[in-house]
Amino acid sequence: METLVQVPAWVRERRERAARRFAAVGFPTTKLEDWRFTNIAPIAETTFADAEGWFAPAASLVSSVGVAGSVRLAIVNGQFAAGLSDLSALPKGIRIAGLRDGARDGTDGLEQHLGTVFSIDAHPLAALNTSRLDDGVAIFITAGAGVDTPIHIVTVTGGDGQAVAAHPRVLVVAGANSRVRIAHTFIGAPGSIYFNNAVSEVVVGEGASIDYYTDQRESEEAFHIANLQAHVSAKGVFSSHAFSIGARIQRHDIGIALEGEGADCTMNGVYLADGARLMDTHTALDHAMPHCTSHELYKGILAGKAKAVFNGRIIVRIDAQKTDAKQTNRALLLSDDATINSNPQLEIFADDVKCTHGAAVGQLDEEAMFYLQARGLTRIEARDMLLHAFAGEVLDGVKIPALREQLETAFFTALARDVELKA
């Protein structure tokens, strides 16, 4: 690690404040309401080495998820890896900074935004991340720029033979009336154990529009904790699609604050868990201003002894009249041992609003299964077709075709992996 002298004072201060916060609260336990069903003791009990900015399979892992025609930003164990990144397609109107270098050379906007979108008080592990604030990537989109080239952040994590912990950090600042698509893929070497503790902050300027795809394909033995927080200004649009098929324990917190009138957001996701995996998604939508809309759709597929937690919080503040919020959470349980704890949490303080929520947990439709089989599809083929259709509503929202194809392939591979067919 670099000496303190090289680190700007504002970074040091934010680190230290976060370190104090984390020292005070520690790893969350199931005694906390927000962590009641998510036991992360296995993370706290494992000894992780601080990760180096490189490990042997990093390069091949990065290229294995390459999206042709995109700007690629590689993060290896939390550190921006310029050598594995590809900025050749970087269009006008967008500026990329490695956080470490950017902070040192005083790149505009870093000090203003980094660590401000997310409150370290809200999440102990985000405080842990911030206490290690060191490197990562920042993406600035110039006001008015329409960026057609997709930006693909690839975060790879792992050690050569040891379990490592990494704390990757992403900052996106979209200027007024700009437009961009950003994907963030998380991967590691199959079967490897590591702890990835990511924080991503997004600032959506007035009238700006961001499509944001989170693609969690971590090692099946990994611990994946990720926080994505977005602030959306007036008439801004933030559309989040999250795809999760990896990790032994996933905790995904997505928070979107609609802070200007007429802002709109989509928050969709699909997760697939089998074996003894735990998939926790906590979403929070903060309707702070009037005339904002939000659409949320999460779909889960659970097999084996997998556990899922879905907590969907929607706050409609007293000034947020004419809010239109819709939340739907559906899960399919493919085995008797799979479980889900689903909890919609609506806190509405304004009186002239439209808020709906629905949750449904069910099994595969056996009549549909029979119909497909009676036309000649095997039971496995029929099941995969139905599960793919179930996930399709979310996958259809992925507007980067090359990424969409990868996700489809990964989805079917995961289904073939070990999702057991209910007898």
Partner 1 sequence: MLLEVKNLKVRVADKEILKGINLTVQPGEVHAIMGPNGSGKSTFARALSGHPGYEITEGEVRYNGKDLLDMDPDERARDGVFMAFQYPVEIPGVNNAYFLKAALNAKRKQQGLDELDAIDFMKVVKEKLEVLHIDDSMLQRSVNEGFSGGEKKRNEIFHMAVLEPALALLDETDSGLDIDALRVVSEGVNAMRSPERSFVVVTHYQRLLNYIVPDYVHVLSEGRIVRSGGKALALELEEKGYAGQAAVGARR
User: Which chain residues interact with partner 1 by CB under 8 A?
Assistant: 365-368, 370-379, 381-382, 385-386, 388-390, 392-393
Nearer to partner 1, 261 or 393 (CB): 393
For residue 125, the 8-state DSSP code is H
In order, the DSSP letters of 205-252 are -TT-EEEEEEEEE--TT-EEEEEEEEEE-TT-EEEEEEEE---SEEEE
Minimum Å gap between C-beta 409 and partner 1 is 16
Q: What is the phi/psi pair of residue 332, to 5°?
A: -110, 125
Decide: 192 and 221 in contact? Cβ < 8 Å: yes
Nearer to partner 1, 365 or 420 (CB): 365
Sign of CA dihedral 419, 400, 280, 167: positive
Nearer to partner 1, 350 or 421 (CB): 421
Minimum Å gap between C-beta 308 and partner 1 is 21
Minimum Å gap between C-beta 212 and partner 1 is 24
Nearer to partner 1, 177 or 373 (CB): 373
Phi-psi region of 366 (alpha: psi -120 to 50; beta: other; left: phi over 0): alpha
Minimum Å gap between C-beta 328 and partner 1 is 14
Nearer to partner 1, 96 or 377 (CB): 377
Task: Note the Cα 55 to chain centre separation in Å.
Answer: 23
Decide: 236 and 211 in contact? Cβ < 8 Å: no
Minimum Å gap between C-beta 342 and partner 1 is 21
Minimum Å gap between C-beta 371 and partner 1 is 4
Nearest alpha carbon to residue 251 among 415, 129, 399:
129
Element (H, E) at 356: strand 354-362
Nearer to partner 1, 132 or 383 (CB): 383
In the Cβ-directed half-sphere of 322, how many Cα atoms lie within 13 Å? 9
